[in-house]
């Protein structure tokens, strides 16, 4: 388990991440973000305790961003060696009229690509995109995500579930380092 903290004039975040499972307790002050992070932790089968206190009187942006930074750094710290994992993972998650298709590469080179639109549901869609991009850049995980559908809540939730399942697959145990270069970064 790793613990990562971040404190700025705008937001304070503390996260404990355990790739081997454990408690899931999320409190960011943003109900929809809590729901998505709980869904993410549950479907990835990771333990996640995360508490954030931010300047929500201004808006949600700073809290969303700092939570993504902390969660990304926790992943990077947990995956420092990137040995003996499959490295790649993918999933397709339908949710009512929506579907999300996700592929990940735990490469050390964080990058996020989204095809489709998320819309607003509980938080602004632009902040969901910013969360995912910031998480990827800070974790060093490459994520391709395609989302289709009509209901913003379903599109966003299927996206978080697809990311979780893809990461769970990529983190499965495997022999050796999965790189023809002999190095991942």
Domain ranges of the chain: 2-170
Model confidence over 62-91: pLDDT tens digits?
A: 999 999 999 999 999 998 866 788 999 999
Surface-to-core class of residue 9, CB atoms within 10 Å of its CB (0-12 exposed, 13-18 middle, 19+ buried): exposed
Query: What is the DSSP pairing of strand 47-54 with strand 11-18?
Result: antiparallel
What's the mean pLDDT in 6-27?
97
Domain 2-170, architecture per CATH: 2-Layer Sandwich (3.30)
The per-residue pLDDT for range 113-153, each reduced to its tens digit, is: 999 999 898 888 899 999 999 999 999 999 999 999 999 99
The residue among 169, 160, 173 whose CA lies nearest residue 34 is 160
DSSP state of 128: H
Q: Closest by alpha carbon to 53, among 92, 23, 13?
A: 13
């Amino acid at each position: 388990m790793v613990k990562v903290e971040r404190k700025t004039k705008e937001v304070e975040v503390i996260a404990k991440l355990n790739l081997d499972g454990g408690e899931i307790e999320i409190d960011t002050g943003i109900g929809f973000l809590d729901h998505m992070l709980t869904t993410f932790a549950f479907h990835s089968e990771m333990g996640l305790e995360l508490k954030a206190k931010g300047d929500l009187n201004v808006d949600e942006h700073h809290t969303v961003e700092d939570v993504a930074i902390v969660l990304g750094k926790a992943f990077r710290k947990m995956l420092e060696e990137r040995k003996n994992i499959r490295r790649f993972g993918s999933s397709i998650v339908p949710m009512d009229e929506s579907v999300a298709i996700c592929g990940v590469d735990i490469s050390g080179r964080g990058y996020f690509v989204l095809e489709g639109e998320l819309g607003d549901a509980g938080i602004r869609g632009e902040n969901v995109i910013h969360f995912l991009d910031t998480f990827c850049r800070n974790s060093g995980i490459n994520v391709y995500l395609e989302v289709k559908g009509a209901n913003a809540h379903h599109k966003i939730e299927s996206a978080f579930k697809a990311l979780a399942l893809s990461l769970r697959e990529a983190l499965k145990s495997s022999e050796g380092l999965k790189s023809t270069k002999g190095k991942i970064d």
